[in-house]
Amino acid sequence: MVPSAAAKGEIFQVKTIISHEMETGLRHDDQGNVIPRKIINKFVCRYNETVVFSVDLHEAISANPFFEFSLRATESGRLDFVWEEDGGAVFALSHQLTVD
């Protein structure tokens, strides 16, 4: 959740949830085979190409991880949310912010 507009200098909250099962590689299927690890291992938020929030994730993180952080509105622009998964998959979303 990100506002679409903010006043210049305003501090606003960013709330994100990533829908992902976060398989740790420690569980077994019904046949006793190890279920391969597949987790989101990095999440980054950029504000007009500048990294403003970044976190490295490990097996202990819960499924569907939730992050909340604060940003200061400095100028209109784009917020990019990028997460990387084991195996190299990269997913991204963008959000336009208008600063008055």
| Mean confidence (pLDDT) of the chain | 93
For residue 53, what are the domain limits? Answer: 5-99
pLDDT digits (tens, 9 = 90+) for 49-66: 999 999 999 878 888 999
Buried b (16+ CB within 10 A) or exposed e, 35-58: eeebbbbebbbbbeeeeebeeebe
What is the value of pTM for the model shown? 0.86
pLDDT of residue 92: 96
Helix residue ranges per DSSP H, the chain: none
Share of the chain above pLDDT 70, in %: 100
Q: How far apart are the first and last CA of the chain?
A: 19
Identify the pLDDT of residue 1. Answer: 85
CATH of the domain at 37: 2.60.40.10
Q: CA-to-CA distance for 4 and 20, rounded, in angstroms?
A: 25
Count CB neighbours of 69 within 10 A.
12
**Which residue type does 42 have?**
K
Percent of the chain with pLDDT over 90: 77
pLDDT at residue 15, rounded to an integer = 95
SS3 74: coil
Task: Give the number of domains in the chain.
Answer: 1
Q: What is the pLDDT of residues 62-97, one digit of tens each?
A: 889 999 999 999 999 999 999 999 989 999 999 999
> Which contiguous run of DSSP H or E holds residue 50?
strand 50-56
Are 15 and 68 in contact by the 8 Å Cβ rule? The answer is yes
